[in-house]
């Protein structure tokens, strides 16, 4: 394989960054792990670039990330069978999603999410950002906001549903 082909494969791999980091996060619930897994996958890709078929690059990268996540789950949990089954279910979901969606579709979803997040106001926006960006637990947030943990979980659930509906409406409007 010549240098241009190798460069093309590496560019293609970087174009999958957003979806693969999201995939790794979904498996691990840890942004640091997700970023590290993607970087380690790129390192593995660099070592195997001559052996890879560009058409199978995304499935190969996804498999490497999944294997890293399963290894960590096995190390961290005695319930690894349950965790591995969960990883398989997530894997199936992403296979379906990746098979039917282009990079443009994923970017449209992210743009819609950003727009919907801008519509959230006050405490609702604060809770979502604290939960997902700052990685605060429901217990921490409940204490900070002087709410019960169940009330906070209900707020998160309703807000997620609102965001899902908003994203769906924005994407349908674009079609």
Is the pLDDT at 129 greater than 90? The verdict is no
Q: What is the pLDDT of residue 86?
A: 62
Q: What is the pLDDT of residue 65?
A: 86
Question: Going by CATH, does the domain composed of 105-174 fall within 1.10.10.10?
Answer: yes
Decide: 141 and 152 in contact? Cβ < 8 Å: yes
Going by C-beta distance under 8 Å and a sequence separation of 6 or more, which residues neighbour residue 19? 98, 103, 106
Is the pLDDT at 102 greater than 70? The verdict is no
The string of pLDDT tens digits covering residues 17-70 is 888 888 888 877 778 888 888 888 888 888 888 887 777 888 888 888 888 877
Is the pLDDT at 146 greater than 90? The verdict is yes
Q: What is the pLDDT of residue 79?
A: 47
The DSSP code sequence of 114-142 is HHHHHH--HHHHHHHHHHHTS---HHHHH
The string of pLDDT tens digits covering residues 71-80 is 776 666 544 4
Q: Where are the domains of the chain?
A: 3-101, 105-174
Q: Rounded to two decimals, what is the model's pTM?
A: 0.46
């Amino acid at each position: 394989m010549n240098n241009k082909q190798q460069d093309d494969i590496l560019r293609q791999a970087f174009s999958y960054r957003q979806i693969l980091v999201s995939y790794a996060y979904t498996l691990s619930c840890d942004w640091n792990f997700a970023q590290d897994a993607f970087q380690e996958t790129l390192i593995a890709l660099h070592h195997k670039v001559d052996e890879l078929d560009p058409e199978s690059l995304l499935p190969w990268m996804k498999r490497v990330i999944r294997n890293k996540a399963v290894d960590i789950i096995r190390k961290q949990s005695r319930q690894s069978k349950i965790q591995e089954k969960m990883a398989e279910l997530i894997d199936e979901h992403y296979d379906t999603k990746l098979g039917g969606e282009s990079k443009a579709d994923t970017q449209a979803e992210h743009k819609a999410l950003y727009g919907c997040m801008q519509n959230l106001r006050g405490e609702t926006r604060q809770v979502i950002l604290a939960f997902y960006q700052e990685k605060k637990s429901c217990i921490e947030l409940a204490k900070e906001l002087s709410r019960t943990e169940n009330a906070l979980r209900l707020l998160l659930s309703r807000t997620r549903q609102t965001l899902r509906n908003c994203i769906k409406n924005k994407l349908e409007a674009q079609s």
